[in-house]
Amino acid sequence: MNTQDIMDLDKKFVMQTYGRQPLALSHGKGAEVWDVEGKSYLDCFAGVAVNNVGHAHPKVALAICHQAQRMIHCSNVYYTQEQVELAKLLTQVSPHDRVFFANSGAEANEGAIKLARKYTGKGEIISTDNSFHGRTLATVTATGQDKYKEPFKPLPGGFKHVPYGDIQAMVEAITEDTAAIILEPIQGEGGVIVPPEGYLQNVRNICRQRDILLILDEIQTGFGRTGEMFASNLFGVEPDITTIAKAMGGGYPIGAILANERIASAFEPGDHGSTFGGNPLGCAAAKAAIEVILDENLVHQSQELGAYLKANLEQMASKYEIVKEVRGKGLMIGIELTKSCGDVVTEAREQGVLVNCTADTVVRLLPPLIITKEQLDVVVKVLDAALAKMSTNPKPLSDL
């Protein structure tokens, strides 16, 4: 099938919920992907921060292959070695000592909300404007963007929103019934928003004083994306609960709630569950993906390459008035424009680089952590050309 055949069948048979690019991908290797016409692209989207170890990593592919031949699934009615091994590994790389396995980010957040309510015996969850926590009814309610939830009312109760980065608003929103605050350590979908200095530490302290749980949604920021294994390390903050998914399985759908023993023990047998959560295939994939991140030193790589990319983007962007800011941490970078960034995405794609536009004006770069400097140089060159094409008034050379 060619691209058009696939697009026609999608239009006919698939629910039309996605604003897709006119591109049908067939396979990938490392940071490169190929479409069904045979054209190659540098993938700076990485399946929304999922393919941190790149496409078709041999160790992940082999782990999935071996496990599929032994056992794909058996249900949580039984124990498996794959699940306990992954749980142990997650406690070694994260600030937590207990794990509940889910299948997606939304499900991890949904479970974290249940855990916070059960542990505290309270109902209210505070989240922030512009946040993204998932598409299930509870997580879309926690999400601070009206466009995602308006059509789906009535929404579950017990959720409030305050501006991200505003500690005073957070303090004022807290009541006797507040169970937890849920935050992205860096907002992803909302436009790669890094919180102001001291914000997360202040929220952490207030949670401690008021006996409220701090849930960090590290679904996008986790597994080396920001130049630390988890972004909580970047800010020196210890959450009570962390939710993870996206890059966890190297592309295989798996997520988890991480918590410390004291809080985790609020979940008793029968309180929560999932048919597929933590099945042997998912756990084997995730264990392999996390081992690759550790063995190949990808967290450090993300920090180094992120600094390199950001510096080059800043230098490149200084030529264009339409660029407001280049920001982010590690290999999670946003280029905010003064106008909608759809044209940059299209132009870059046509020149062989995949990027994403989020929050309408932010070009978001989330390349695999295994991308090379040479590949990043190509990315900057292509974005430079795309911005030049779209700029009506580049700054005169004398201003540079």
Active site residues: 132, 217, 246
CB of 363 to ligand PLP, least distance (A): 17
**The one among 193, 219, 299, 345 contacting ligand PLP by CB under 6 A:** 219
CB of 19 to ligand PLP, least distance (A): 15
| 198 CA to centre of own chain | 22
CA gap 267, 276 in Å, rounded: 18
Q: Which residue has the tokens 């999670």?
A: 332
Specify whether the CB–CB gap between 204 and 236 falls below 8 A.
Answer: no
CA gap 296, 367 in Å, rounded: 16
CB of 134 to ligand PLP, least distance (A): 4
Q: Find the part of the chain contacting ligand PLP (CB under 6 A) among 25-33, 100-108, 359-367, 378-386.
A: 100-108
CA gap 220, 328 in Å, rounded: 13
Q: Which of the residues 173 through 202 are near ligand PLP (CB under 6 A)?
A: 184, 188-189
Closest to ligand PLP by CB, 24 vs 48, is 48
132 binds ligand PLP (CB under 6 A): yes
- For residue 353, list its beta bridge partners: 42
Q: Which of the residues 43 through 72 are near ligand PLP (CB under 6 A)?
A: 48
Q: Find the part of the chain contacting ligand PLP (CB under 6 A) among 76-84, 99-107, 203-211, 308-316.
A: 99-107
How would DSSP label each residue in 74-132? --TTS--HHHHHHHHHHHHHSS-SEEEEESSHHHHHHHHHHHHHHHHS--EEEEETT--
Closest to ligand PLP by CB, 355 vs 386, is 355
CB of 398 to ligand PLP, least distance (A): 42
CA gap 360, 367 in Å, rounded: 20
Residue 354, amino acid: L
220 binds ligand PLP (CB under 6 A): yes
Position with the least CB separation from ligand PLP: 105
Which helix (H) or strand (E) segment holds residue 250: the answer is none
CB of 50 to ligand PLP, least distance (A): 9
The phi-psi region of residue 212 (left if phi > 0; otherwise alpha if psi is between -120 and 50; otherwise beta) is beta
Considering only CA atoms, which of 83, 75, 86, 132 is closest in space to residue 109? 132
Closest to ligand PLP by CB, 167 vs 245, is 245
CB of 311 to ligand PLP, least distance (A): 25
Q: Find the part of the chain contacting ligand PLP (CB under 6 A) among 129-137, 152-160, 281-289, 353-361.
A: 129-137
CB of 135 to ligand PLP, least distance (A): 6
Residues in contact with ligand PLP, total (CB under 6 A)?
A: 16
Instruction: Say which residues have a Cβ less than 8 Å from residue 20's Cβ, sequence separation at least 6.
Output: 10
106 binds ligand PLP (CB under 6 A): yes
**The one among 47, 111, 134, 195 contacting ligand PLP by CB under 6 A:** 134
- The CA dihedral of 324, 18, 54, 294, to the nearest 10 degrees, is 80
**The one among 60, 116, 186, 245 contacting ligand PLP by CB under 6 A:** 245
CA gap 351, 338 in Å, rounded: 22
- Under the rule (CB under 6 A), what is the footprint of ligand PLP? 48, 104-106, 109, 132-134, 184, 188-189, 217, 219-220, 245-246
